[in-house]
Amino acid sequence: MVVGMYNYIAESWKRLYKEKNDILKQRIVAARREHAIVRVDKPSRLDRARALGYKAKQGFIVVRVRVSKGGMRRKRARAGRRPKHIGVVKIKQAESMKRVAERRVAERYPNMEVRGSYYLFEDGRYYWFECILVDKSHPAVKNDRELRHQLVFE
């Protein structure tokens, strides 16, 4: 049996999650200080990104998303703000946090198509996911024979 590079990457991530490694804790601390949706240069989990169709070429971007933990029922904020920014609407009972993250990224990047997302890490308050987005109108994506069969172009 041939074990490839991506299997080793997947095993190392499993080990990080299992041991609750200091590297992971440092990444969580750094991610807490960032905005909820942040564009990153490279995917953190290359094995998962490649499985979802990521290619290191123009037209592909990776976005890290932070989603609050908790169920559908949230207390409404006391101070005055519009309902959109209270953070209690658009969280459905049957919708996973991963889907919530993908939807928020799709709203933020309307010209891009979400290829998929994967779990990164979590703490007591948030989940973090990375979403793979592709720009269907980019020439590098249009000229890629493999992607042409996968994506539906308008």
What does the pLDDT read at residue 121?
87
Dihedral sign, CA of 17, 21, 23, 24? positive
What does the pLDDT read at residue 85?
67
Tell me which residue of 122, 127, 119, 146 sits closest to 54, measured CA to CA: 146
Q: Quick check: 154 pLDDT over 60?
A: no
Q: Could you tell me the residue ranges of all domains in the chain?
A: 5-149
For the segment 57-74, the average pLDDT, to the nearest whole number, is 85
Q: What is the CA angle 81-84-85, rounded to 5?
A: 50
Higher pLDDT, 144 or 33: 33
Do 115 and 133 form a contact (C-beta atoms < 8 A)? yes
For domain 5-149, give the fold.
Ribosomal protein L15e (3.40.1120)
Residue 88 pLDDT grade (very low, low, confident, very high; cuts 50, 70, 90): low
Tell me which residue of 32, 34, 22, 10 sits closest to 123, measured CA to CA: 32
Return the exposure string of 7-36: e unless at least 16 CB atoms fall within 10 Å of the residue's CB, then b: eeebeebeebeeeeeeeeeebeeebeeeee
- Of the candidate ranges 29-33, 91-95, 118-122, the one whose mean pLDDT is the lowest: 91-95
What does the pLDDT read at residue 117?
94
Per-range mean pLDDT, top range of 76-80, 119-123, 146-150: 119-123
* Percent of the chain whose pLDDT exceeds 70: 84
Tell me which residue of 41, 63, 48 sits closest to 13, measured CA to CA: 48
Q: Quick check: 105 pLDDT over 90?
A: yes
Separation of alpha carbons 107 and 112, rounded Å: 10
Separation of alpha carbons 26 and 123, rounded Å: 12
